[in-house]
Amino acid sequence: MQTGKTATTEEQTAEALEELEGTLERVIFHNAENGYTVFRFQPKGKGGDAVSVVGHMVDPQPGVGLLLRGGWVNNPKFGRQFRMETFESVLPATVEGIRHYLGSGLIKGVGETMAARIVARFGESTFSVLDDAPDRLIEVEGVGAKTLERIKTSWAEHRGIRDLIMFLQPHGVSTAYAVRIYRYYGTHALTVVRENPYRLAMDIHGIGFITADGVATKLGFSKDSPLRAEAGVLYMLGRLTEDGHVYFPFDGLVTHTGDKLDIRYDLVEDAIHSLEREERVVLEDLGEGVGVFLTRFHHYETKIAYYLRRVLASPKAVHFENPDAVVDKVLGKLDIALAPEQLEAVRTSTRSKVMVLTGGPGTGKTTIINAIIRVFAEVGARILLAAPTGRAAKRMSETSGRESRTIHRLLEFSPKEDGFARNEDNPLACGLLVVDEASMMDTMLMYHLLKAVPLGATLLFVGDVHQLPSVGPGNVLRDVIVSGVVPVVELREVFRQAAESEIICNAHRINQGEVPPLESSRDRLSDFYFIRQSDPAKVVEMILELVRDHIPRRFGLHPVDDIQVLTPMHKGLAGAGNLNLRLQEALNPQTLCVQRGERQFRLDDKVMQIRNNYEKDVYNGDIGRICCVNAKERELTVRYDERNVIYAWEELDEIVPAYAISVHKSQGSEYPAVVIPVLTQHYVLLQRNLIYTGVTRGKRLVVLVGESRALAMAVKNNRMQKRHTWLAHRLAQGLSTPGALL
């Protein structure tokens, strides 16, 4: 757990912990994410200059009186500083002091003029009114209903954080954690922490079980507390879903939780059964053992099986009196000759309720989708097209000439209504629903989609099953294929024009476990290159040179718009974090920016949305460019395709630089050129489907930089991490309800 101890780079003096009382003069730096603050402080009753103070606090405001506790340290770079361990707000007692305090900007809705009016009305009783009778503020000139609510909310937050900090500090919990805890729970924060501090591990991003456990220990919770064991199980199940599991075997969960979190196995077992009684987890006998599901994921998976089998069992709404004749007529109009497996795919769609079309690059999936759309249009069917991401939906629109939407938009998600407007009571209106990039769909999204599919519709899932599975839990497309309950057409033949591309040929070699040739022909311009380099630092320099100079000069591509760096990892020299810093400096050395924490957002930066924001209508993985920076208001505008989206400063944790992104984040996208580092230091993630997914993102150029040994390791490693799912069994066996429980 983080404490107020000094960093190892600083030398603590021998002076005892001391107190400083005075006034915060000027804020030098403040990180709103964790509360870390550097400020100038004028000690009370001491002449001379103000001192530098470092520590954690929320909303530091110049002019506020503080009582600091801490010690002096010598920072090699910044000199003598006061390291603040704890602090208390010192509320002024005089009318003049109260007026300055309220007018400092600490309370939203109260400026200097309003502060003067409030103090003129209530005098030395102002704080008592704010604490105990805030509705009396309506007596002040200029305070209407809206202003009253804003002041009440802001003062309650200010007081709530202050009370939470005062409660936690004696137990050794730093202000940094107190700030984050209050941001999440609001006015209920103190109650939550007192009753069950283990909730912090499950609710607050970045606060793990160890931190919550430390808080609980300080508050007197026993190591053998049932709350500790229950929170540990839920925390561990949550972590396992992040790894893609829908459930985890009972025995494995017991040992995994017990070993990772140092909890006795018998306590873990008791906790699992207690959580089952509380309906927070579901235990299901899977025949080969008992699976433990978080309740919502058990619901999603069983309902997917139920809804899919229901669609399969329902009559087909789109009727073909002579399907083969319709197919021949449409293909005649299109003037294209399909290969036998392609023709079979089109014919299968006319006979099936649900169908999967899969295949690698160059096998003609787009041609088949368009042919199927024309066949259904020929008989007057209403057709809907969708994909999991905005980029995939846009590409589908371009290749089909029809509107395609994200699944969220198709289902009319509304954050205000707290859910999807389209469901089993308000289904989609269509005779054919085509879902592209279906391998990206996780368990939750598939559940919501199937819930809204009308019973008579034909459902076509299209995707490359050899790509990486969904980021979220489950392996839905593969499970549907493995179940055997729907016809699957896999396109294998690579057509002549596509076969001329080394990208496509090498992607298929990789998929078949064959390391592609690493020497490109010098007689012609290739679209696939491998550059050998084993030193990670030199790999980074080479990537910078390729993106900034070599590829734009030789291939005529724009270094930001056309070239995407894809990396297996986030950390390390060749990880997305460091590559983004280096590429930002190389490609966009502008000074106009907004700073959030340690991250700079510069005008013209390439950025990516990293979580779904339904109100802004931008989604995880959307990439745009910063087109406007308002440094004074600390506000950005990002242009996504033809749309501008404004981000306030507090919303900037939703976007990250996107000069380099993870291979996972690239799913559903295509780029003119991709550059991929491949190093043995990435060995944990070196798997065939990762390299295959990265290579197939490039349309005109793919450049791999790294070690041939690392590439060989990845291509030969087809042991994909097992994801514990039970969907294939449910579909094959017709299960849609839980089995016998323990």
pTM confidence score: 0.75
Q: How far is CA 545 from CA 271, 401, 497, 705, in A?
A: 55, 38, 31, 12
Residues 151 and 172: their CA atoms lie apart, in Å, by 31
Model confidence at 172: pLDDT above 70: no
Model confidence at 13: pLDDT above 90: no
Q: What is the pLDDT of residue 277?
A: 96
Residues 722 and 338: their CA atoms lie apart, in Å, by 37
Q: What is the pLDDT of residue 468?
A: 86
Among the residues of 133-264, which ranges form H helices? Answer: 145-168, 175-185, 189-195, 199-203, 209-218, 226-242, 250-261
SS3 assignment, position 685:
helix
Residue type, 125: S
Residue 634 neighbours by CB distance under 10 Å: 16
**676: Cβ–Cβ under 8 A, 6 or more apart, which residues?**
565, 566, 567, 663, 691, 694, 695, 702, 703, 704, 705
Per mean pLDDT, which range of 193-202, 466-475, 705-714 is the poorest? 193-202
The HSE-up count of residue 304 (CA atoms within 13 Å, CB side) is 30
Beta sheet of 354-359, edge-to-edge order: 404-406, 383-387, 432-435, 458-463, 354-359, 488-491
| pLDDT, tens digit, 9 for 90 and up, residues 533-546 | 999 999 999 999 99
User: pLDDT tier at 147 (50, 70, 90 boundaries)?
Assistant: confident
Model confidence at 96: pLDDT above 70: yes
Domains and CATH numbers, the chain: 18-89 (2.40.50.140), 95-217 (no CATH), 222-300 (1.10.10.10), 314-492 (3.40.50.300), 514-716 (3.40.50.300)
User: pLDDT tier at 200 (50, 70, 90 boundaries)?
Assistant: confident
Model confidence at 558: pLDDT above 70: yes
Residues 35 and 56: their CA atoms lie apart, in Å, by 5
